[in-house]
A and B are shown apart, each in its own frame.
Chain A
Amino acid sequence: MLIPHPLLGLRDSQEFTYLGDASLMNRPDPAGPSAEAEFCDYVFLRDNPAGVHRELWFHEQGDRSWLVVTRNTLTHEILGAELARNLPARGAE
């Protein structure tokens, strides 16, 4: 698989480490009234869609950027890749 790195262009997926669902960027408010329940969902519950999925890849053998890659899990088509640190609204929509 080739991942279109926003800064470095097409890079082989072997250079990356995969983490998973980009919803991991939506860390709950630890001071919120139902923080424990929200963290429980955050830590343990993931969507596993057959289709378009936003997910986190770390360019470990490269520039060490965390990317949010939008990928179709059925076809492996990559619809886009963004630098995680540039995303104002964190992770999955």
Chain B
Amino acid sequence: MTRLIGGLIDRTAPLSFSFNGKTYQGFKGDTLASALLANGVQLVGRSFKYHRPRGIFTSGSEEPNALVTLHSGARTEPNTRATVTELFDGLEASSQNHIGPLERDLLAINDRLAPLFAAGFYYKTFMWPRAFWEKLYEPAIRKAAGLGALSTLPDPDTYDKGFLHCDLLVIGGGAAGLTAALTAGRAGASVILADEDFRFGGRLLAESDLLDDSWPSEWVDRTCAELASLPNVRLMPRTTVFGTYDHGIFGAVERVSDHLPPSDEAVRQTLWRITAKRSVLAAGAIERHIPFQDNDRPGIMLAGAMRTYVNRWASAPTRNADDQVAIFTNGDGGHRTALDLLGKGVPVLGVIDTRPDAPVFGKYKVFAGATVTGTKGRLGLQAIQIRQNGQSTWLEAGALGVAGGWNPNVHLASHHRGRPVWDEDRLAFLPPKDGPKGMFPAGAAAGNGATSVALADGMRTAQQALAELGTTAGNIPLPRVTDTPDTQAAYWHVPTTKRAWVDFQNDVTVKDIALAHKENMRPVEHLKRWTTLGMATDQGKTANISALAVMAELTGATIPETGTTIFRPPYTGVSLSVLGGGNTGRHFRPYRLTPTHAWAKVQGAAFTEVGPWMRAQYFPRDGETHWRQTVDREVLSVRKDVGLCDVTTLGKIDVQGPDAAEFLNRVYANTMATLKVGMVRYGLMLREDGHLFDDGTCARLADDHFVVTTTTANAGAVYRHMEFAHQCLWPDLDVQMISTTDAWAQIAVAGPKSRQLLQRIVDGFDLSNEAFPFMACAALTVCGGLRARLFRISFSGELAYEIAVPARYGHALMERLMTLGKDLGVTPYGSEALAVLRIEKGHAAGAELNGQTTAQMLGLGKMVSAKKDSIGAVMSRREGLAQDGRRLVGLLPLEPQSQIPAGSHLFTQGAAQTMQSDQGWVTSSCYSPHLGSYIALGYLENGHDRIGEVITAANPLEGQSFAAKVVSAHFIDPEGGRLRD
């Protein structure tokens, strides 16, 4: 155990957890990383490429090494940073990326083969033989590389999403964030303060500078208590603001219950979409390291992280309490760590400072003008080599802190293309001047990291941001701080001929950057992709700036000339589950249900998805063992007696106004203005490019009142298109429209006995052929006063009607028709029989209107009126479309019991089956109980002139080929006598 005194952990609440199957103890307030360190565990994982033993490197979300897998079974969560995993009782964690135990990883052989694995190795080595890549190289490489593995089971957790609005969003709850939030909160502004940590305070919890002569956590607690008491302030701990989007919108993930044992009830994470008038970016800074030879051993970590572990978590970075700790630094920051370690009683070997004039702040040894040039200790640091005045010395050390300066967290300020600006005094990139509108960087994120400066900067920045909103925010009392500004001297890496890691997560070394330079991969974006620097879960947060400093040195350019790569959301990894915000399964795409859905369910119907709807597919009866039996029966009943089908899903648009007729004339290819009141006309709608868009019916209920229908799938698109035509093309037309798809339940009543059945529900309405002929329509009442609309239209080719009643009566109407039609043999039919009926009749549907077909191809070219303008008319006449000879035909397989699959291609019999000889394709296919044969519809080159010819329909995907006779698309009643009687 290396647990120290003090710290912000609750020693009255011990917690038990396991790592690689072994049980350890920690306390409430610990992270997995701090608890492991307190138990003397330094080795936590293996590196990505070389499988080198690795330890905890940071104390935050920037962690490149300490990636572990949490939980087991379906809740398995790979690649989780131990440094931000809040400890709870019973937490299970395990290390990743090794074969055999972590201490004796068999894949460590990769480290011996390191010279083979230099940057660009895969690109160069596995080029040949070409065929080996997919089968041999890639699977082998993927198996050896990579980090944790997914469970591949469905995610059992629940997620949520929410929307928030505020005047000021403060991102980060450290010194600057807290004073910014308090300043704005006291001024009455609505404030959201979000921090990725579970405890507010940021670096204030990690440093030992006193505030008002007390521990900084006391000031933090007081400030948070006041913020929590303000009704206009919302505190959001455990919340990562991961992206800056347009117009003051931010994406954030709140880890609602990740810090608790997994549960089936609690929401795990919530996706927040925050709209903020102004924002303060107080995201702090990330310390950088100084690459030197063999700098990746467990026990080597950032000096600032070491302070966090010692001060906040009372965890020493060593395996044993009496192990010595060394510090390697290029500035005063490393000395702070030495002082804090001594203050907690941790033995300090000394501070190796690259500056010849290194200052001394306390009772510890200082190696001035010295560097670390090597390390020993395979599974944990044992010794370091110090080079000073031309002499090299090996000294025993159990841990080494590295301090190379701080990089302001400019990420969120750079999501809108703004490039960070290099500041030579601070040796850091600062947030861009042309960052997101309304965002104000403050504190360490703005390069003002010293505690006293950050506290004041937060207040000043909040005042500035609120002033833009017309709010004057007064000063708040700032605590007294006794910190002195840190100085540092630029020092980027210790030269070596061996490996010095820059990016730990991707195993990128200084040598790899030199190789990229040699191979002319010099721009940072090329450097990144050639070496994989800055990829994967940490996105190079501890590596990128050091890497480009090395590249700058190699090219002789300055650091600002070398520049940074582009920053993109998310700041840290966001799970796909939480991005879904709980919209999974049925919640991802809710079904729309028809008015007769509940009724159909009681009848035992099978259902199918049609566009956004759930429709009854067929209604099986006792004794029917196959869906075809049911569908055949339903089809034959319609042709013989009468059938009922809910057709509510078809789009309905009500069009009214003095110019309604003229408007419809312009959106339909055929003429609508001449339609008589009380009549219906089939309509074809084209896109402006001349292709078919949609078809439907157009009923004229009054001179200035039409009801048009659309296909189910295009209901929304047609409505949008009609509004476009009105508002954007012809706003001068006096016409209004509204979608009434949901307002009316519509039931098709089809079959020779449909008139007889309807006669039993209409209120004294004359249904005779003379009074109400084919394509008539009327508003009427049924069942003793219920408002209804009746259309004599037929999709099946039989005598048929569609009757519409207000949607809430759809269920009752269906029941009434079923009861009254019993003696007529009334049969409900589903979407499957509906499709068979229309294919038998040769009526077009979605498969024939696939966006690449024309009216002419349907055989309806004459419907596109040349006497008037309409959308698509001009383009439908262009040469390419006009000369297209393909026509819709029917196809009868010579073997009646073999089905030609839709999508098959058509060829002249005996011709080679190539693209050049392609004669068309099959659009729809079904079994026709009426003909006792499979039938199909398709577009065939010169189809209308080839009736009677036997052609080949080929399905090369399954090696199928059929001989089929070309017939009229109207398999039944081509003269249309049935629907007119």
Contact = CB atoms under 8 A, between A and B. Distances in A.
B727 A65 contact: yes
Nearest to B729: A27
Contacts of A31: 869
A86 B732 CA distance: 10
A92 to B, nearest CB: 12
A27 to B, nearest CB: 5
Interface string B858-870: 0000000000010
Contacts of A43: 688-689, 875
A64 interface: yes
Interface in B199-253: 245-249
Given A24-B728, A84-B728, A90-B728, A1 B247 contact: yes
B877 A36 contact: yes
Q: Which of B275, B874, B878 has the most CB of A within 10 A?
A: B874
A40 B875 contact: yes
B502 to A, nearest CB: 33
B417 to A, nearest CB: 8
Contacts of A86: 731
A33 to B, nearest CB: 12
Contacts of B728: 24-25, 56, 66, 84-85, 90-91
Contacts of A60: 716, 720
Nearest to B737: A64
Nearest to A90: B728
A1 B248 CA distance: 8
B873 A76 contact: no
B416 interface: yes
Nearest to A86: B731
A83 B727 CA distance: 9
Interface of A: 1-2, 17, 19, 24-25, 27-28, 30-31, 35-36, 39-40, 42-44, 56, 58, 60, 64-66, 74-78, 83-86, 90-91
B246 A1 contact: yes
Nearest to A77: B437
Contacts of A17: 720
Interface string B585-597: 0000000000000
B612 to A, nearest CB: 14
- Closest A-B pairs by Cβ, 3 of them: A85-B731, A85-B727, A30-B869
Given A1-B246, A84-B731, A66 B723 contact: yes
A83 B728 CA distance: 9
B765 interface: no
A84 B727 contact: yes
Contacts, number: 67
A19 B727 contact: no
Contacts of A78: 247
Interface in B719-742: 720, 723-724, 726-729, 731
Contacts of B874: 28, 30, 35-36, 39
Contact of A76 (B247, B720, B731): B247
Contacts of B731: 84-86
A4 to B, nearest CB: 10
A90 B842 CA distance: 42
Nearest to B877: A36
Interface of B: 245-249, 275, 416-417, 437, 688-689, 716, 720, 723-724, 726-729, 731, 869, 873-875, 877-878
Contacts of B248: 2
Nearest to A3: B247
Nearest to A58: B720
14 contacts: A2-B275, A17-B720, A19-B724, A25-B728, A25-B729, A28-B874, A36-B877, A56-B724, A64-B723, A74-B417, A75-B416, A76-B247, A83-B727, A84-B727
A59 to B, nearest CB: 10
Nearest to A1: B246
Contacts of A74: 417
A34 to B, nearest CB: 11
Given A25-B729, A76-B247, A83-B727, 12 more contacts: A2-B249, A24-B724, A28-B874, A30-B869, A35-B874, A40-B878, A58-B723, A58-B724, A64-B723, A65-B727, A74-B417, A85-B726
A17 B717 CA distance: 10
A43 B873 CA distance: 13
A2 B729 contact: no
Nearest to B716: A60
Contacts of B723: 58, 64, 66
Nearest to B687: A43
Contact of A2 (B247, B417, B873, B877): B247
A5 B597 CA distance: 38
A54 to B, nearest CB: 12
Contacts of A27: 688, 729
B245 to A, nearest CB: 8
B433 to A, nearest CB: 14
A91 to B, nearest CB: 8
A51 B250 CA distance: 24
Contacts of A44: 689
Contacts of A30: 869, 873-874
Contacts of A36: 874-875, 877-878
Nearest to A10: B247
Contacts of A28: 874
A34 B154 CA distance: 59
A25 B729 CA distance: 6
Contacts of A66: 723-724, 727-728
A71 to B, nearest CB: 10
Contacts of A65: 727
Nearest to B732: A85
Contact of A39 (B275, B417, B688, B724): B688
Contacts of A85: 726-728, 731
Contacts of A2: 246-249, 275
A58 to B, nearest CB: 6
A39 B728 CA distance: 16
A9 to B, nearest CB: 13
A77 B720 CA distance: 26
B727 A39 contact: no
Nearest to A27: B729
A24 B727 CA distance: 12
Contacts of B246: 1-2, 76
Nearest to A78: B247
Contacts of B249: 1-2
A39 B875 contact: yes
Contacts of A83: 727
A74 B724 CA distance: 27
A84 B689 CA distance: 22
Contacts of B875: 36, 39-40, 43
B688 A42 contact: yes
Contacts of A75: 416
Contacts of B245: 1
A64 to B, nearest CB: 6
Nearest to A88: B731
Nearest to B731: A85
B5 to A, nearest CB: 52
B879 to A, nearest CB: 9
Q: Which of A56, A60, A84 has the most CB of B within 10 A?
A: A84
A80 B778 CA distance: 46
Contacts of A39: 688, 874-875
A63 to B, nearest CB: 11
A24 to B, nearest CB: 7
Contacts of A58: 720, 723-724
B321 to A, nearest CB: 56
Contacts of B720: 17, 58, 60
B689 to A, nearest CB: 5
B874 to A, nearest CB: 5
A15 B670 CA distance: 33
Contacts of A91: 728
Nearest to A35: B874
A43 B874 CA distance: 11
Contacts of B716: 60
Q: Which of B245, B437, B720, B877 has the most CB of A within 10 A?
A: B720
